[in-house]
Chains A and B, each alone.
Chain A
Amino acid sequence: MRLFELRGISKNFGAIQALTEVDLKIDAGEVLGLMGDNGAGKSTLIKIMAGNFLPSGGEIWLKGAKVEFHNPVDARRKGIEVVYQDLALCDNLTAAENVFLGREAKRRIGPFSFIDYATMFREAARHFAELKSETRPRDLVKQMSGGQRQAVAIARTRLSNPDIVLMDEPTAAISVRQVAEVLDLIRRLRDQNVAVILISHRMPDVFAVCDHVSVMRRGKVVADKPIRQTSPEEVTGLITGAIEFA
């Protein structure tokens, strides 16, 4: 049974046709690279998979059943976690609060339930350590470096045990060492049988961790190939349109 599949997904924003009949599939323990030029529709596709947008047409299949995500919580409940391109962080909150935003750790005292900061700080520290990131849970995100912010956004996906993790350019705006760590993390997710969809403009990253690569151009998927059967040159050609289809 296939873990996750998009069938003929289309999306238009008024007159703008952002996606046209997109097919995509991924199995557990697989890493899929999603590449394409600016405006190709990658983020839009991710947002449909994450429940931020309803598609204008097409179907989403999860573990052999047709599903509809009406909001991000829907998708998360069904095992899909996302690292958004703009990271979706609140600058005025601490790292730990951002990691737990929307699903805070709580403790009941009588009829009331209060936020359990001790647990949140401890758990966040554990996730940052796993990511080998020097991020302090009590620091405000406002004061953090690009890599630390990235770590906060990625740590969020570790709160649950997701089947699928979607990452929209997780390696943009971070240092070489931190890129290596993010790629390591992706490998670790794969080893735990998680399916990862990685959007990236960085060819080396995609060829370093992905099993498959899908190339999008102007809202359409123009190629879907095992990474061993393609090359950076071919992918570049597909992205720019120098190569029509593959």
Chain B
Amino acid sequence: MSVSLEEIAQRREHGPLRHMVRSQPFWVTVALVLICVVMSQVSEVFFTEDNFFNVTRNFAFIGIIAMGMTAVIITGGIDLSVGSIVGLSGIVVGMVLHAGHSLGAGIAAGLLTALACGLVNGILIAYVRLSSFIVTLGMFGIARSLAQVLSENHMIYEFGPDEKLFFALGGGTIYGFANPFILLVALIVVFMIVFRYTTWGRWVFALGGNENAARLTGVPVNRMKLSVYMLSALMAGISAVLLVGWQGAAINAMGTGYELRVIASSVIGGADLMGGAGGAYGAFIGAALIEVIRNSLLLAGVDANWEGTFVGLFIVFAVLLSKFRGMRSG
């Protein structure tokens, strides 16, 4: 034979450049840059350091949750409960700190609460085999209601002995970037590596591609499913801890509507609701796009109530786009 195995092993149908140009995150990035360019002409405030700081911090809370959501969506599932879990975890963190416990105890309680919600979701979906839509819709109601019950509809704004530390965690900065944004960037790197270079990451994709095939080849499908819902809830818990620290108050309505923005971020970034496709960078850039549009509307003097309309339109548009791409390639 004239060609070596090495050569065949390296062969690919399309070069990396072609691959990039065909990917949804690439075009979302282009759109984002275009909006930024236009906005810098339209508004003097847009390219200020303050605005940049605010925008990046605002979408960090959504972006962090979108990392977990992306994993769920890649497996072919959905998690509608993340916004409510933010509310419940936030209240739990607030109550534990308010009662005079240490920051560590508060964070642990918040994250464990989130994980417990994820555990319930995961068991019902993976082992009882209920649909993820129904199970997480149930948790959407339950977690929010529990937050209301626990808080007795009071706002918590005193956080005990570690209050300063707690506020610094969520509201502080590192090298001029908001802490949540720093964490988001770190998470993107971690998730990019995990999705591509670990068996867990590849199995997430395998599950979304062909669950039956994954099962037949020995992938622990049920355990994998459980893990993605717990991860999604954990990300919501982390976001809640930072959010309460930044806002300096915990209210039970926190995180309301987040599920829409988080799912939109993942989907705009190329996650396929049918499963099998998606990525960490996509979720990040999707979250960024939504926040920049919101910010632009604000700066352009458009009523903030239009935000939901735009986010909704973008979800539909992103799904349409991936449908057309799917038609062309297959």
Residues on A lying within 8 angstroms of B by beta carbon are 52, 71-73, 76, 82, 84, 86-93, 97, 101-104, 106, 112-115, 121-122, 124-126, 128-129, 136-139, 142-143, 156
A156 — which chain B residues lie within 8 A by C-beta? Answer: 217
Q: What does DSSP make chain B's interface, helix, strand, loop or mixed?
A: helix
| Binary flags per residue of B205-236, CB closer than 8 Å to A gives 1, else 0 | 11011101111111100000000000000000
Closest to A101 in B: B217
Partner of A90, one of B12, B209, B218: B209
Tell whether A91 pairs with B210 under 8 Å between CB atoms, given A72-B216, A102-B218, A114-B197. Answer: yes
- Cβ of B6 within 8 Å of any chain A Cβ, yes or no, is yes
CB pair B206 A93 closer than 8 Å: yes
Contact B6 A136 (CB under 8 A): no
The reply to whether B206 and A104 contact each other, CB–CB distance below 8 Å, is no
Task: Mark contacts of B176-215 with chain A using CB atoms, 8 A cut-off: 1 yes-contact digit, 0 otherwise.
Answer: 0000000000000000010011110010011011101111
Contact B216 A92 (CB under 8 A): no
Distance to closest chain B CB from A90 (angstroms): 3
Q: Which of A72, A90, A102, A121 contacts B276 (CB 8 A)?
A: A90
Q: Is the CB of B210 within 8 A of A89?
A: yes
- B301: Cβ under 8 A from any A Cβ: no
Q: Is the CB of B9 within 8 A of A122?
A: yes
- Residues of A contacting B8 with CB < 8 Å? 125, 128-129, 136-137
Known contacts A93-B209, A121-B10, A136-B12; A88 and B198 CB within 8 A of each other = no
Determine the residue in chain B with the shortest Cβ distance to A116.
B197
Contacting pair A137 B213 (CB below 8 A): no
Whole-angstrom CA separation of A193 from B243 in the bound complex: 64
Cβ–Cβ contact B210 & A125, under 8 A: no
A15 to B9 CA separation, bound complex (whole angstroms): 49
Q: Given the complex, which residues of A lie within 8 Å of B219, measured CB to CB?
A: 101-102
What are 22 A-B contacts defined by CB distance under 8 Å? A72-B216, A72-B218, A82-B216, A88-B212, A90-B206, A90-B209, A92-B277, A93-B202, A101-B219, A114-B193, A114-B198, A115-B198, A115-B199, A121-B9, A122-B5, A126-B5, A128-B8, A138-B11, A138-B12, A138-B13, A142-B330, A156-B217
| Given A90-B276, A138-B10, 6 further pairs, Cβ under 8 A | A88-B210, A91-B276, A101-B214, A115-B196, A129-B1, A137-B8
The distance from the CB of A170 to the nearest CB of chain B, in whole angstroms, is 15
Q: Which residues of B contact A93 (CB under 8 A)?
A: 202, 205-206, 209
Determine if A97 and B202 form an interchain contact, defined as CB atoms under 8 angstroms apart: yes
Chain A residues with Cβ below 8 Å from B197 are: 114-115
- Nearest-Cβ distance from residue A86 to partner chain B, whole angstroms: 8
Which of chain B's residues have a CB closer than 8 A to the CB of A88?
210, 212-213, 216-217
Contact assessment for B205 and A92 in the assembled complex, using a CB-CB cutoff below 8 Å? yes
Write the residues of chain B forming the contact surface with A, with a CB cutoff of 8 angstroms. Answer: 1, 5-6, 8-13, 193, 196-199, 202, 205-206, 208-210, 212-219, 276-277, 329-330
- B276–A92 contact, CB under 8 A? yes
Which B-chain residue is minimally distant from A122 (CB atoms)?
B9
Across chains A and B, which 3 residue pairs bring their CB atoms closest together, nearest first?
A: A90-B209, A102-B217, A88-B213
- How many angstroms between the C-alpha atoms of A65 and B202 in the bound complex? 36
Residue from B9, B196, B214 within 8 A of A124 (CB atoms)? B9
Instruction: Please give the distance in Å from A21's CB to the nearest CB on chain B.
Output: 26
Give Cα distance in the complex from A92 to B275, angstroms.
Answer: 9
CB of A104 within 8 A of CB of B208, answer no
Query: A88 vs B11: C-alpha distance in the bound complex, in angstroms?
Result: 24
A116 → B minimal CB distance (Å): 9
Residues A90 and B9 in contact, CB atoms below 8 Å apart: no
A57 → chain B closest CB, angstroms: 24
Assess A76 versus B218: contact at CB under 8 Å? Given A128-B8, A136-B12. Answer: yes
Contact check: which of A82, A90, A102 meets B210 at CB < 8 Å?
Answer: A90
Contact of B209 among A91, A138, A143 (CB under 8 A): A91
Q: How far is the CB of A152 from chain B (nearest CB, A)?
A: 11
Compute how far the CA of A52 lies from the CA of B13 in the bound complex, rounded to whole angstroms: 35
Report the minimum CB–CB distance from A97 to chain B (whole Å).
Answer: 6
Chain B residues lying within 8 Å of A138, measured Cβ to Cβ, are 9-13
- Whether A129 lies near B210 (C-beta < 8 A) is no
- Are B210's CB and A73's CB within 8 A? no
Residues of A within 8 A of B213 (CB): 87-90, 101
Query: A217 vs B202: C-alpha distance in the bound complex, in angstroms?
Result: 41
B4 closest partner in A (C-beta): A125
Complex contact A90–B214 (CB within 8 A): yes
Tell whether, in the assembled complex, residue B9 and residue A137 are in contact, meaning their CB atoms are under 8 Å apart.
yes
The minimal Cβ–Cβ distance linking B3 to chain A, given in whole angstroms, is 9
B86 to chain A, nearest CB (A): 30
How far is it, in angstroms, between the C-alpha of A89 and the C-alpha of B210 when the chains are bound? 7
